[in-house]
Structure 1
């Protein structure tokens, strides 16, 4: 199987995981970027206040998303773009929480996605003083990008996974996860059922 996945990065309006205001998506097929997209998102009430700290980090203001579609419109497009891919993100727990919490905030079922954290993969691949996205991306040969721009961050994340797969001679992301011993994350109903199936019998022993 080839190195196929979708890299994803969110920016949020405030500390709430349900305040998604921007997302970047990068589709990788056979270790190459074949498609990319960026959307502004109007955060749902009551998670739509923009903190000064977040604005300072990513530069997105309330005015920039005032006329943007909400999450209910973006989620189907995200699912169509990502198809059945593993979603890769730097500190993937954050980005998966954004999908889950923003979906819940607008009354949508949390979608099923597996995820792989490029931060954890980088820790098992490089010897660096820091594993922040710009530093890890530089180790992968991806430099001079606009950090905290969602699309640029997703591209940097994709570069880390592609480079790590080559370095570990992994033919796909499942093999890369196995070699680096980085567990997959998961959200959605299927993930919940799998966790119950896995831990239920153990709890009875």
Structure 2
């Protein structure tokens, strides 16, 4: 299987993981970026208050998402965009937690995805003082991007994985996870059951 995956990044309106307000998606096929998408999201009711702290970080305000589609529209789009890809995110537990929490807040089925954390891959690939996304992306040769813009962050994440795969001579994401000893996570009932049956509960993040 060639190096193919979908990199994702979310921004949230507040500290609730169910308050997704922006998503960036980058599709990589055969080690090359072939598709990019950025969308604003109207957070679910009860999770839609924008905290000043979050607004200072990403610059998204309530009025900007007032006319945006809700997660019930974006979730099918995520499924279509990613297809059978594994997901990649920097601190992937956060981003997959947003998928899970926002879906559950709306009574939607949590989608089945396997995922790899680029933060953990970076820790096992580079020798840095900090493994925050700008530092890790810089080590991969991806610099000067607008951190906390969801699409730019997803592009940076993709660059880390492609660069790390080259360093480790890994032809696909599963091999990269294996050689860097990074656990493959899973969300959704089917994906989680598959990983548990193959590797036991410790395989799941």
Distance, in Å, in 2 between the alignment partners of 1:186 and 1:196 is: 9
Q: Which residue of 2 aligns with 1:168?
A: 168
Structure 1, unmatched stretches of 5+, are: 201-205
Give SS of 1:24's match.
strand
Report the CA distance between 1:195 and its aligned residue.
Answer: 5.7
Distance, in Å, in 2 between the alignment partners of 1:193 and 1:137 is: 33
Deviation per residue, 1:24-67 (Å, 9 max, x gap): 00000111000000000000010000000000000000000000
Distance, in Å, in 2 between the alignment partners of 1:147 and 1:19 is: 19
Deviation per residue, 1:122-176 (Å, 9 max, x gap): 0000000000000000000000000000000000000000000000000010100
Equivalent residue runs for 1:1-205 within 5 Å? 1-194=1-194, 197=197, 199=200
Distance, in Å, in 2 between the alignment partners of 1:17 and 1:32 is: 30
Report the CA distance between 1:194 and its aligned residue.
Answer: 3.3
- TM-score, length-scaled by structure 2: 0.95
Number of residue-to-residue matches in the alignment: 200
Distance, in Å, in 1 between the alignment partners of 2:131 and 2:48 is: 30
- TM-score, length-scaled by structure 1: 0.95
Distance, in Å, in 2 between the alignment partners of 1:39 and 1:73 is: 11
CA change 1:195–1:175 in 2 (3 A) is closer
Structure 1 ranges of 4+ moved more than 3 A: 194-200
Kept in 1: contact 2:8–2:26 (CA 8 A): yes
Report the CA distance between 1:192 and its aligned residue.
Answer: 3.6
Greater radius of gyration (CA): 1
